[in-house]
Amino acid sequence: MKIAVLKEQVDGERRVAATPETVRKFVTLGATLAVEAGAGQSASIADAAYADAGASVTDRAAAVSGADIVLGVQAPDPATLAGAARGAWVVASFNPFGERARIDAYAAAGLEALAMEFMPRITRAQSMDILSSQSNLSGYKAVLDAAAEYGRAFPMMMTAAGTISAARVFVMGVGVAGLQAIATARRLGAQVSATDVRAATREQIQSLGAKPIFVESVAGIEGEGTGGYAGEMSPEYQAAQAELVSGHIAKQDIVITTALIPGRPAPRLISAAQVASMKPGSVIVDLAVEQGGNVEGAVAGEIVEVNGVRIVGHRNVPSRLAADASALFSRNLFNFLSAFWDKETGRPVLDAEIGDAIRLTRDGAVVSPRLQP
């Protein structure tokens, strides 16, 4: 069983799909590892570290040649995988809804594409969940990015020259990223509040020492929503939330938005009028900017200023913490493959529950039910 680890080719992608730690673990399972030279350089991993862990470090063509499994952070162009074994698995994140033409190309190439972002959110798959591991870092980094743009201190400071008030931070969307943002802002000494459409998140917000801001007059989503995500809300709820949030946003120094709905554009949470209501010097960090953005006026890959309010729209936020993000991502991939590793055949064999959930292509066809017309 040959596993290839490739250098990422997407502009700005600094992560890598395997680390020396996971290479050693794969070798222990009996696999042969081939790593493209320079694959870990952006994540502060030298080629020599892979070689010491038991991998061969070579060029891309040699790494791919005869590979049974190809690991990637973002799915490589299938045209660059010529030479891989027929039916080889490509295990990566694929952005299936946004890159449908690429999925069709994988099918045409006879490759089996396994989308890690489709991993079901069930107990036994928690250690395989790339969305959670990467979102956790995104929430942390969002607060640091906000602090870098905010021209004041986060904690309250009592000095001989007077008192500095604590920054007010408002987190919109309390998933994995939102919870980490709350925790990080609290550790920095900010006064934190948060909101979500899922009623179950109220206790989570309070447990982190933040103030929950919830619509009381219209019912939201009970429980956690499908797959742990919130769904789209009724027009009545959206109107009530907009009214509640408008008054709250105007008093905030920093707002962090994290709301995403899989397969759909990010919901619009903050309007241009709400941005205009904030004080000059305030900062908004939009973690959903690559899916259309939660904030009107946010621009992917840029920091824009509107009436003195800075709107931060960094792309690929986990990649801004490349070393840690790579460590977690690579463990997710190893945990996934090792959980299904068959010792007799020396290769992983997927079951229906997880295999059918993440498999996009097989035997020349697109087979994922989520991608069918």
Report the catalytic residues.
121, 126, 129, 132, 229
Reading the block at residue 102, the tokens are: 């690429």
Burial (0-12, 13-18, 19+ Cβ within 10 Å), 97: middle
Residue type, 124: R
Q: Are 169 and 256 in contact (CB under 8 A)?
A: yes
CA angle centred on 42, ends 41 and 44, rounded to 5°: 65
Identify which of 116, 13, 53, 18 has the alpha carbon closest to the alpha carbon of residue 326: 18
Looking at the DSSP bridge assignments, the partners of residue 112 are 89
Q: List C-alpha distances in Å: 355 to 68, 236, 335, 337, 350.
A: 17, 39, 14, 11, 5
Q: In degrees rounded to 5, what are phi and psi of residue 363?
A: 50, 40
Q: Are 239 and 233 in contact (CB under 8 A)?
A: no
Residue type, 76: P
CA 149 to chain CA centroid, Å, is 22
How far is it, in rounded angstroms, from Cα 12 to Cα 363?
32
Rg (CA), the chain: 22
Looking at the DSSP bridge assignments, the partners of residue 194 are 171, 212
How far is it, in rounded angstroms, from Cα 231 to Cα 49?
44
**Which of helix, strand or coil describes residue 173?**
coil
Classify the C-alpha dihedral 105-109-112-114 as positive or negative.
negative
Identify which of 109, 101, 58, 57 has the alpha carbon closest to the alpha carbon of residue 83: 109
